[in-house]
Amino acid sequence: RDIVIEGAFELPQLARLPIEDQVFIAAFVKSHGSIKEMESVFGVSYPTIKARLNRISAALEFVETDPAPAHSEVLDRLAKGEIDAEQAIKELEGKS
């Protein structure tokens, strides 16, 4: 029996890269970011590794790494009087 899922789905950024770049990024992570190790794995020079990293980096959008505060954190700040109720509501709704 086949299962079909239909809809408009957006792939994560890394999955949208060409397979060669995905392999390169996986090797970079596996080598803990060591360009010297990458030179050895791919048999190319430091400038070649850096140029490829720069090209891949330019193709990726910046990902926000500062998540919204936890609800408990907002409520704690409200209880301490650090923020007022209006600000707490905005933050809890993600509109800070």
Give the SS3 label for residue 26: helix
Q: Are 59 and 65 in contact (CB under 8 A)?
A: no
Question: Running DSSP on this structure, what letter comes out for residue 13?
Answer: H
Cβ contacts of 56 within 8 Å, gap of 6 or more: 17, 21, 24, 25
| pLDDT band per the 50, 70, 90 thresholds, residue 91 | confident
In whole numbers, what is the pLDDT of the chain averaged over residues?
90
Q: Residue 23 — very low, low, confident or very high, per pLDDT cuts 50/70/90?
A: very high
CA distance 48 to 39: 9
Lowest mean pLDDT among 44-53, 64-73, 83-92: 64-73
